[in-house]
Amino acid sequence: MTRSSFLTDLLSTIFERRSTATPDDDGRSLEELCRALLSAAGEVSGSKIAAAVLSRYDGLDRRGKAAFFRFLTEDLDLDPSRVQATAQAYSETPDRETLNALLKAAEPRRQELLRRLNQVPGATAQLVAMRLDLLGMVREHPSFARADLDFVHLLSSWFNRGFLVLRRINWESPANILEKVIAYEAVHEIGDWDDLRRRLQPGDRRCFAFFHPSMPDEPLIFVEVALTAGVPSSIQDVLARDRAELAASDADTAVFYSISNCQAGLKGISFGNSLIKQVVHDLSNELPHLKIFVTLSPIPGLARWLEAQAAQTSDEAAKDLLAAAGPGDADGANPDTNAENLRTYAAQFLARAKRLDGFPADPVARFHLGNGASLHDVHPRADLSAKGLSQSCGAMVNYLYRLDSVEQNHEDYVNNGTVAQSRTVQAILRSRPQETMTKTKTKRIVHAQHAL
């Protein structure tokens, strides 16, 4: 047994302890149970009360859950006067005792409640689901965002990289895990079991996922990888049903073509950076001849940006792209010219369209560039699915992960908002959209707006 598998089994054993809690037959209200849990001194009695709280919460309707979150937010909040007094005491006498008093005062009591709830075996998954309920109510109840800060604080600690286990998922993995890969795939839909087999079984395909020992049957995030000869320019080529399988020994490129977060209750807690770096490390050890690690990524905000360009500047080329989004010629438009224009606009969007904070407008770009990747190339007609056409007019992008430059790229991006670019992308950015010489633009634009 390897050291890694030993530790995995050990952690799983720890987290899969049988609960000694009895069924919820306590007559107290949910709020009374929570206060009793906060005052409980014994582990056994605390575990029993925690189990009762979780059981009671699961039986609530939406209104009842909103009342519970209001209790967390308001009744178990900070005492500002106590915080102020302890802060003043620490500023006057900065020693261990005054710092300890300040730290206790500065932590809402709901944090301790959540910690004590988590002592019940299986409670971590229930608390993740509880946070998902909370996220669904924040817009209606903005004050609940205060309670969400405590969920984020604790979940970030509980799902620290040190607790996560990387597993490879293949065609021999348990059926319940494979079913969840199908259900959670968020980038390129998996149509059926045969489709899943094509992504997992061939020797030039890999899939890796992070798991937490307390949720051993629930992937947190997974990445699908294609081993290729050269950098692919379309997802159609990667997922083609009739493609010829490539011997892993003949591949020089690992392509991360789909990364899916699986637990909506862990929104805002990032695993992707660690996942990609760990998979690059593992693949490098398994296949040392791999030279290139690159993504084939969607550009989900491109079509909306093109619509804004067309509306704000009467950009005819942008209108043509929206109208002709799809394979083949459309009402006389030149498909080659449209493809080059799409490549130009996509590069401009990824490299130059920024939010108010100075970072890229595109969320996928923010993720990969923040991880230290660089813009490598942009491809028109790379995703001709209905989803690909609607969100990016079919364009996709490669982000390149070079181990010798990811740290510097990350620092430049975080500190200066610098978007690392290849020479290919720099050349694309110097180009200008061309006239497409279309015939019936107005008709096609209306059609495109209806389709999008």
What pLDDT digit, counting tens, does each position of 49-87 carry?
A: 999 999 999 999 999 999 999 999 999 999 999 999 999
Residue tagged 């020479």 (tokens): 423
Report d(CA 188, CA 183) in Å as an integer: 11
Question: Could you tell me which CATH number the domain at 162-295 has?
Answer: 3.40.630.180
Render pLDDT for 378-411 as a digit per residue (tens, 0 to 9): 999 999 999 999 999 999 999 999 989 999 999 9
Render pLDDT for 142-163 as a digit per residue (tens, 0 to 9): 999 999 999 999 999 999 999 9
DSSP lists the bridge partners of residue 398 as 377
| Phi-psi group of 219: left, alpha or beta (phi > 0 → left; psi -120 to 50 → alpha; rest → beta) | beta
User: What sign does the CA torsion over 277, 281, 284, 286 have?
Assistant: negative
Q: Which CATH architecture has domain 298-451?
A: 3-Layer(aba) Sandwich (3.40)
Measured CA distances, 213 to 103, 160, 162, 279 (Å): 30, 12, 11, 19
Residue 58 is predicted with a pLDDT of: 96
Give me the mean pLDDT over the 430-447 stretch: 53
Q: Contact at 8 Å (CB) between 254 and 280?
A: yes
Measured CA distances, 90 to 80, 85, 104, 109, 438 (Å): 15, 9, 12, 21, 73
pTM, full prediction: 0.86
Give me the mean pLDDT over the 214-218 stretch: 94
Residue 315 is predicted with a pLDDT of: 82
DSSP lists the bridge partners of residue 360 as 354
Residue 329 is predicted with a pLDDT of: 41
Burial grade of 253 (CB within 10 A; 0-12, 13-18, 19 or more)? middle
Domain ranges (residues) in the chain: 11-158, 162-295, 298-451
Residue 41 is predicted with a pLDDT of: 77
Torsion of CA 313, 314, 315, 316, to 10 degrees: 180
Q: Contact at 8 Å (CB) between 227 and 248?
A: yes
Share above pLDDT 70 across residues of the chain, in percent, rounded to a whole number: 88
CATH class of 11-158: mainly alpha
- Band (196; pLDDT cuts 50, 70, 90): very high
- Band (23; pLDDT cuts 50, 70, 90): low
Residue 311 is predicted with a pLDDT of: 87
Give me the mean pLDDT over the 228-238 stretch: 97
Give me the mean pLDDT over the 97-118 stretch: 97
Mean pLDDT of the chain: 89
Residue 18 is predicted with a pLDDT of: 44
Are 162-295 and 298-451 in the same CATH fold?
yes
Q: Contact at 8 Å (CB) between 31 and 71?
A: yes
Question: In this structure, are strands 292-295 and 253-261 parallel, antiparallel, or unpaired?
Answer: parallel
